[in-house]
Amino acid sequence: MATHQQRIVALLSGPDQPGLVAKVANWIFQQGGNIFHADQHRDDEAGIFFQRVEWIPGTDDLEAEAQAFRDLASSELGMQVRTAFSHARPKVVVMVSKISHCFHDIVIRFKEGEMPGELVGVLSNHATLQTECERYELPFYHTPMERKAKLASEAKQLQIIRSLNAQLVVMARYMQVLSASFLQNVGCPVINIHHSFLPAFAGGKPYHQAYQRGVKIIGATAHYATADLDEGPIIAQDVSRVSHRHHVMDLIRQGKDLEKSVFARAVRWHLENRILVYNNRTVVFD
C-alpha cells in the first residue's frame, strides 16, 4: 500500500451522465484504493460535469494507476481528465517589477513550506529587488524591457523559464503586458494579480482615483493570464469595504493586504490541482 502522503489527484470534466460518481468510486475501490477527498459540480446550463477526486492508491506504482484511470475516464466515461500526485512539487518562477508586497509575501510562503511547489527563480525588468533575492537565496534574472526590444527581452525570459523547467509562472505585480507570443510559447500556466478597479480606474494611481470617486469597496483579482489583457479565467477574488473615513493610504494598505492573500490563494489552489478551466471560466474545488 502506498503511503498516506502519496495520493493521486484526478480532475475530470465532460458531458453529464448518470452514474459518473459511482463509476469513479467503484473503479478506485476495485484497485484497492481509498478515496481521500472527492468533490463535484454540475453546470446546469452547459450540462457539464466536473469532479476532483483524490485517493490513496492500492499499489506503489502511482504512474501505472494514474494512467489506468486516465484510460477509464477518457475511453469509458467520455471525460477529459488530468492527473497529478499530491507529493509533487512543481517548479515556479516569479515575475516582478518594483512593487514588492506580493513578491515578499509569496516568497516567504514558499520558504515556510506553505506552498506545495519549489520556487526556482525570479525574473524582473528592474534590478530593484536583486538584493532582496540574494537575501532569500533565490536566483535573480534581470531582463530589462525596452519598448523597441520587447520581443528580444521576452525571448530571453522564455529561455530562462525553459532552462529552469518551470511548470508555473506567477506575476507578483509584474508591471508589463505579456505578449500573445510569450503566452503561446511559455509552455506553462501564468497567474496574474491586480486590483479590482479595472476597467473603471485604469492607469496610474488607481487608489487615488478610487478615493476621489468615493468608492465603498476595494478588491483584488487573481486570474490566468491570456492574450486578452486582464480577461483570463478568474481564480480568486476578495473585497474589503471602505467608507468616507478612510484616507488614500488606508485604501492602499487594505488593497495590498487583499492582493497578497488573493494571490497566495490562487497560487496554492493551482499547485494543489484544484482548478478546472472551461469557457474562460474556472471551477475551483477549494
What was the pLDDT predicted at 85? 97
For residue 25, pLDDT beyond 60: yes
Percent of the residues in the chain that have a pLDDT greater than 90, as a whole number: 81
Tens-place pLDDT, residues 231-275? 899 999 999 999 989 999 998 999 999 999 999 999 999 999 999
Burial grade of 40 (CB within 10 A; 0-12, 13-18, 19 or more): middle
User: What kind and span of H or E run contains 251?
Assistant: helix 248-271
Judge whether 181 and 154 are in contact, CB under 8 Å. Answer: yes
Length of the chain: 286
For residue 80, pLDDT beyond 80: yes
Residue with cell 487608489: 207
Cα–Cα distances in angstroms (integers) from residue 264 to residues 62, 106, 193, 196, 210, in the given order: 29, 6, 10, 16, 24
What was the pLDDT predicted at 3? 45
How many angstroms from the chain centroid is the CA of residue 134? 25
Q: In 16-148, where do the E strands start and end? A: 34-43, 48-56, 80-85, 91-96, 118-124, 140-142
Q: Which of 158, 129, 132, 161 is nearest to 142 (CA)?
A: 129
The class that CATH gives domain 91-284 is alpha beta
Name the active-site residue from 16, 43, 105, 230: 230
Judge whether 85 and 273 are in contact, CB under 8 Å. Answer: no
Strand, helix or coil for residue 67 = helix
Does residue 215 or residue 159 have the better pLDDT?
Answer: 159
Per the structure block, which three cell numbers stand in for 34?
481509498
User: What kind and span of H or E run contains 9?
Assistant: strand 8-15
230 part of the active site = yes
Instruction: Give domain limits for the chain.
Output: 8-85, 91-284
Tens-place pLDDT, residues 162-178? 999 999 999 999 999 99
CATH of domain 8-85: 3.30.70.260
Query: At residue 193, what is the residue type?
Result: I
Tens-place pLDDT, residues 94-118? 999 999 999 999 999 999 999 999 9
Tens-place pLDDT, residues 1-18? 444 569 999 999 999 999
User: Left if phi > 0, otherwise alpha if psi is -120 to 50, otherwise beta: which for 122?
Assistant: beta
Q: Which of 76, 85, 23, 31 is nearest to 51 (CA)?
A: 23
Burial grade of 137 (CB within 10 A; 0-12, 13-18, 19 or more): exposed
What was the pLDDT predicted at 199? 60
